[in-house]
Amino acid sequence: MTLTDPVVPAPAKATAPPEVGRALPHEAAVLHVTGRALYTDDVAIGLRGVLHAHPVSSPHAHARITRLEVAPAYAVAGVVRVLTAADVPGVNDAGIKHDEPLFPEVAMFHGHAVAWVLGESLEAARLGAAAVEVDYEPLPAVVTVREAIEQQSFQGARPVLERGDVAAGLATSAHVIEGEFEFAGQEHFYLETHASYAVVEDDGQVFVQSSTQHPTETQEIVAHVLGLASHQVTVQCLRMGGGFGGKEMQPHGFAAIAALGASLTGRPVRVRLTRRQDMTMTGKRHGFHASWRVGFDDDGRLQALEATLTADGGWSLDLSEPVLSRALCHIDNAYWLPHLRVDGRIARTNKTSQTAFRGFGGPQGMIVIEDILGRCAPVLGLAPEELRRRNLYIEGQATPYGQPVRHAERLARAWEQVLTGSGFAERRAAVASSNAQNPHRKRGLAITPVKFGISFNFTAFNQAGALVHVYKDGSVLINHGGTEMGQGLHTKMRQVAATALGLPYERVRLAPTRTDKVPNTSATAASSGADLNGAAVKDACEQILARLVPVRALAGPDASWEEVVQRAYLERVQLWAAGYYRTEGLTWDATAMRGTPFKYFAYGVAAAEVEVDAFTGAYRVCRVDVVHDVGDSLSPLIDLGQIEGGLVQGIGWLTLEDLRWDDADGPARGRLLTAGASTYKVPSLSELPAELNVALLERATEDGVVHGSKAVGEPPFMLAFCVREALRDAVAAFAPAEDGASRRPVELASPATPEAVYWAVQEVRSWTG
């Protein structure tokens, strides 16, 4: 028999039990906890002859550079080179919108790098940077989003999302309420700060290792700064010590500095920011200002919403336009709004260029409607949980941008499961009883839903590639376009490949993400890493299996996987494949804000109980119950970790993490005041709920995605709304027992820090009927 003879197809893959669905630990967990996991700077610091880069930073939030004298830096021992705009052989820009000069003529925020110094040691580079002489002409600085609104300081697109007739909807509403709301951004605070190093190889090729979520875009930016074609630059991402969106766009400039320095000196160059530099120089989650009018009928059902969302974009556009677009697309969260008009705009302020962060605008849109419902429930005389329940989407309804809300019954099922499993009704009575007996300590209880769209808003990004190699001994190496930042993507990809080939998990290994292995990749973002790359890996494996079908017939039904692979090699059958996947069914008109931008919606529901101390505003999260929809989980232990981590990070954004800039009219105007762990509070073990119960929604298979799974990176972040709303509920319990006092809305700052909660309690206690 030969390969050209007709054969009866037999399964080509091995027969190990499926690895998809197994609760496996993170593939690098042991390396992480023992300190053996290598990150970008671990490799860079060991390079022979490596030079160290340090920025020359602007002490002004907005100032024109009138003189830049680098000669004094060369008098510092160990200084090798000072990089300025004159050294750039290509394009002096590090942004995809061409509005982020790598070496600016005008400093646009406090800490903006105007030059970089390369030294034999980091200390030499630091001293050299201090020696560079720069004269500035200070210019007026816009620091707050309210100042930007007053001065009409805007940039980028001004999208409008509209459905129905909002004026008519408000006119016919039984209750019309209006308000405004300003809420803060958030620092990414990944454990590994931004890091890159670059080496020029013997043929002039530039190799860059970067802590980047988007190696292809890093490659493109480095290439155009150096005046090279993309094939002359290779970018590798070994792994990241956290990213959360902060390494999607922001790494490109730092990689370009390393590459430029390496090109000019012929030596390896490393760029690694200190924590203070990272917080001072890099973008954060967008803060927003929202103004709104909302209408309800007599039953508390939403009739119309008119709102304006203003995102604080910082000094340049970065990803502010798609962030704003997603915010508008998620202002409905999980609620039916028959009439709606939302105007969006991006403020230009003299701060860091704000960027992607877990949820990518979704949380900022969703918090607006959750804040509206939390404020309006007492005015309408309804319990907040009942107001939310009455307005949940049901099957057959569509979003304001026209996408049908598929599987809305899962939302209702998760809602009921949380109510029942948490004993919500019984605990509501217990909370009321406790509050009646404790004048200075009150408890609050709340339940909130999540509906989050999965896919990139920019349709072209919804594609992925993978490369799968089967070696002669039957072992497998896979390379895909996604990057690993601790979220467990590589673990899932190994499980997908092992299941597709019928192999044990241990027979599959991951190679670092590199642009010369899988080109033209999309960022690992939008919670789509497993959906896109998993499908591409599966496609490559299936191509190989198809080629092995006739080989299996030759080798015999009892042949092992290794024997089939060895026979395939002898028969000159290709044992590697390039897989590809594109998400089907997506359409999006960014101008009209209409279409089907998401492959599906991920659903979740969470309930929280908190306790607030009136004397200090301090509080503790007593309990959180979660039911979350991940479809058929690829890796349950990884997914549980993502749900718990997302929830806690969301609690941080809503209750702890308070970004502060100096907005006084002084020499430090625009300086970030919370530029380190001593002044910026991130969640720790002490902020974890005392009791945390997480369940994955059952009977939730998703059609048309890899193994019926759903994305899990971003949606759990918004589960934290229940904690903020529970704090509002607890604050409301301090209202005096007078007629009418309980019908007033409780306004709560975001973040609801203990200080903010204290002042909210004082406000409520001052109410009279």
The set of catalytic residues is 714
The candidate with the shortest Cα–Cα distance to 476, out of 434, 507, 520, 511, is 507
In angstroms, the CA 544 to CA 540 distance is 7
Question: What's phi and psi for 96, nearest 5 deg?
Answer: -80, -15
361 in Cβ contact with 597 (< 8 Å): no
In angstroms, the CA 761 to CA 769 distance is 16
- CA dihedral 407→408→414→419, nearest 10 degrees, is -160
Q: Cβ neighbours of residue 206 under 8 Å, at least 6 residues apart?
A: 198, 199, 200, 222, 226, 228, 232, 233, 234, 259, 262, 263
In angstroms, the CA 530 to CA 656 distance is 30
DSSP classification of residue 252: H
Q: Cβ neighbours of residue 713 under 8 Å, at least 6 residues apart?
A: 358, 487, 527, 529, 642, 646
In angstroms, the CA 294 to CA 369 distance is 10
Work out the widest C-alpha separation in the chain, in whole angstroms: 94
94 in Cβ contact with 221 (< 8 Å): yes
3-state DSSP percent of the chain in helix, strand and coil, to 5: 35, 25, 45
538 in Cβ contact with 528 (< 8 Å): no
The region, left, alpha or beta by phi > 0 then psi within -120 to 50, assigned to residue 682 is beta
C-alpha separations of 70 from 74, 421, 639, 671 in Å = 7, 66, 51, 25
Give me the helix-helix angle, 489-501 and 529-555, nearest 10°.
20
In angstroms, the CA 33 to CA 13 distance is 35
The candidate with the shortest Cα–Cα distance to 627, out of 534, 699, 676, is 699
HSE toward the beta carbon, residue 163, CA cutoff 13 A? 22
H-helix or E-strand spanning residue 154: strand 154-155
- CA dihedral 604→608→614→617, nearest 10 degrees, is -50
End-to-end CA distance of the chain: 93
- CA dihedral 65→66→71→74, nearest 10 degrees, is -10
| Residue in the structure block whose two tokens are 């692979």 | 565
